[in-house]
Structure 1
C-alpha cells in the first residue's frame, strides 16, 4: 500500500514538473523578456554586403563607446546578411534589432512578379507602376492574402536569426494621405483634404474584402473620407498584419518593435496607422520636429501624448529623434524632454548623422540619465 502511494505521489510530481516546464515554454513564446529599466539609446543603421567586417566593427564600436545600447540594422530583410552582422554587433556589446520595410517594399523581386499585390489609389493608380511622391513608394496591400503571407515570411526569416532581439517593422502603414507640412513645398502640392492620388487602398483585394463585410463598394462612395467603416477597415487591415507578425516573432523568442508616426491620433490622420491598438512590444515614434516646422519642445509634447495613449497596453515608447537638423544643444534638449515626458529611451535617425559633437552629447546624456 505504501509502495502504491509512493508511485502515485511520484507520478503527480512528474506531471507537475512537466506542466511547469510547459508553462515556462509558453510564457517565453508569448512574452519574450524586454530589457532592463535603464533609459535606452538606440540608432537606426544601414548595411550592405560590400562592406568589410572591419568597417562594421569600427562603426559598432563607435556606437557602443558613445552610449548607444541597441541598433536597428536594415539589411533589406536579408537574413543571411543579418546573420553575418548580428554576431559582430553583439561582440561589440550592442543589442541587435532586424529593421525591415513592411508594407512599402521597394524593389522586392518576389512582389514585383505580382502586380495585383499592390495598393491602388482612389484615382485608380497602382503603386506597382504609378507610385505616389517618390519612385521607391511601392506599397503592398495588407488585404491581399498572398502579399500578407510574403511579408510574414520575411518577418519569420529575420526572427530566426540568432543574436537578434526583435524584428523592427518600418513603413507599417498606408502611403501618406497627408505629408508632414514641412515636406509639402518639396512636392509642390497642397493637401487641404484627402486627395484621390494619395488615398489608398482601392485595390480589388481591399475593395472585395470590404464589400464582403459591409456590402458597399468604396469606389462608389461620394465622399469616402467621411465613411467611418471604410477608414476603420483599413486601420484594422494594418493592425492584423502587425498582430500576426507579433505572434511570429514571439514564437521565435523575439519581441516585435516598430517605427511609427508621432502619436496615434496623428498617425491615424496622416497614414491610417493606429499603433496604440496593436499587439506590439516597443514603438519608436518618429518625432521628427523639423518635418512639422516645430521646435524641440514638440518632441516632449508628442512623446507625452503617445505615452498617455499607451497606458495599460504594456507597450513601451522610445522616442525617435531626427538628428541631422538638430544642433548638439538641441539634441541634448530633445533627449531630456523625451525622458521627462515618459519615454523609456530614445532612438536616433540615423547612425551616420551622429558626428563627433553629437556623439559627445549622447555619451554625456547616457551617463546623466542612468
Structure 2
C-alpha cells in the first residue's frame, strides 16, 4: 500500500461564490435560485490533501501553507499529528481560519513508535513464520502492527480515535493503515524489496498471534497454525476481514458519538484490498473512503484510475459512503494530473485527494485552480 507513504490517508469542501449587487428577484425566481444553489452544493467536486505536522513549525508557516492550499482550490486537509490532540487543535484552528476543513489523520493498526503499545509485546501481530511485528518487522522498520484481535490493543486504538474525535474544529477522524500488513505488495514496488510474491508467503501472512488464533479457534474449532495451506481456508481469511471491519465499526460509533465523521485511506477497490491486505471496505460503517489509486505503483496507465474508481463506486452503490479518489503526485505532470482528476470525476468519485501537500509543484497547483475556475463558469 503506502510503504512509500511515511506517514501514511477526507471529506467536505467550501464553495466558491461570487456576489454581485442585483435587483431583488421575485419569490418564484428566488425559489429557483435556492434549488439551484442546493444542487451546486451537492455536486461540487472536492479536493483534499494529506499533510504531516512538523515539530517546531511556526503558526505563520502553517498559515501560509493553508492559504496556498485554499487559494488553489483545496477544500480539506488531513493532518497527521501522531494522534496528539493538543497539536491537532492548534492546527485545526489555523486551517479552519483559512477556510479549510480539517480531518484527523491517524495510523490505526500500524502504530510505529507507539510508546504505550511498545510496553506490551503481546499486542503485536505475528506472521505465519512466527515473527512478531514487535521486533521483526516486514518490509520496513516502521511496520509495527497491532493485532485487532487483542482486546487491550483494540481498546488502545479506539482510545486514540476518541481522543481525536473530541478535538474542536475537526470534521472527521481519518483512519490510515486500517488493515493487516501487505500480503502482496503492488507490483511496481517488488523490485525495491527484491521480492517475488506469487503466493501468500509465510513472512507476510499475518496474524498468527496468540490472541488472534485463540479467538479464531473459539469460533471455528480449528487452528490456522496447523493448517497445511491456510491461504485457502475461507473462514480464516474471513475472520481477519471481519476483525478489521468490526474495529472500523466501533470507531464509527465513537466518532459519531462526538459529532464527527469517520473516513479512511484504503486500497484501490474492495476486491483488490481483500486480496492484498485483508481489507474489505465496502462492508464498513464509514462516511467516506479515499482509495489510494496510485497507478504507477501497479504499473498501470492513467485510465486505470477511472477503472478503479468506478469499481469502488459500484461496490458502494447500496451504501451512503462517499468515495474520493486518492492520487499520488510525484510522477504526475500537470497534464497527467488534469487527466487523472477527470478520470476520477467521470467515473463517479465525489472528489480527489492528493498525497501529499508538500509534493505539489506550482504547475500542479495551477491545474487545481484552473479546474475550480472552470467549475464556477
User: One fold, TM greater than 0.5?
Assistant: yes
Equivalent residue for 1:262, pick from 263, 268, 272 = 268
Please say which of residues 360-369 and 160-169 is displaced more in the overlay.
360-369
**Partner in structure 2 of residue 108 of structure 1:** 114
Per the alignment, residue 10 of structure 1 pairs with none
Does structure 1 residue 150 correspond to structure 2 residue 156?
yes
By how many angstroms is 1:312 displaced? 1.2
1:213-242 CA-partner distances (Å, limit 9, x unpaired): 000000000000000000000000000110
How many residue pairs get aligned? The number is: 336
2:79 pairs, out of 68, 73, 76, with 73
Alignment of 1:1-370 (within 5 A): 36-369=42-375
**Displacement of 1:36 after TM fit?**
4.4
Deviation by residue 1:246-303 (Cα, 9 ceiling, x = unmatched): 0000000010000000000000000000000000000000000000001111000000
CA contact (8 A) 1:41 1:366 kept: no
Q: Post-superposition shift, 1:306?
A: 0.2
Check whether the contact 1:101–1:172 (CA below 8 A) recurs between aligned residues: yes
| Gap regions ≥5 residues in structure 1 | 1-34
What is the aligned partner in structure 2 of residue 28 from structure 1? none
Larger radius of gyration: 1
How far does residue 355 in structure 1 lie from its aligned partner after superposition? 1.3
Aligned 8 A contact 1:49 1:81 in 2: no
Question: How far apart, CA to CA, are the structure 2 residues paired with 1:52 and 1:82?
Answer: 14
Counterpart-to-counterpart distance in 1, 2:354 and 2:236: 35
- 1:18 alignment counterpart: none
- Distance across 2 between alignment mates of 1:123 and 1:265: 26
Q: Report the alpha carbon displacement of residue 352 of structure 1 after superposing the two structures with TM.
A: 0.8
With the length of structure 2 as denominator, give the TM-score of the two structures.
0.88
Deviation at 1:366, TM superposition (A): 2.5
Give TM-score, length-normalised by structure 1: 0.90
Q: Matched residues in 1 for 2:251 and 2:277: separation?
A: 20
Runs of 4+ that moved beyond 6 A: none
Q: CA deviation at 1:37?
A: 3.5
CA distance in 1, matches of 2:353, 2:80: 15
1:181–1:369 distance in 2 versus 1, CA, 3 Å: farther
| d(CA) in 2 for partners of 1:315, 1:365 | 25
What is the aligned-residue RMSD (CA, Å)? 0.8
Distance in 2 (alpha carbons) for counterparts of 1:365 and 1:212: 54
5+ residue gaps, structure 2: 1-40
- Report the secondary structure of 2:164's partner residue: helix
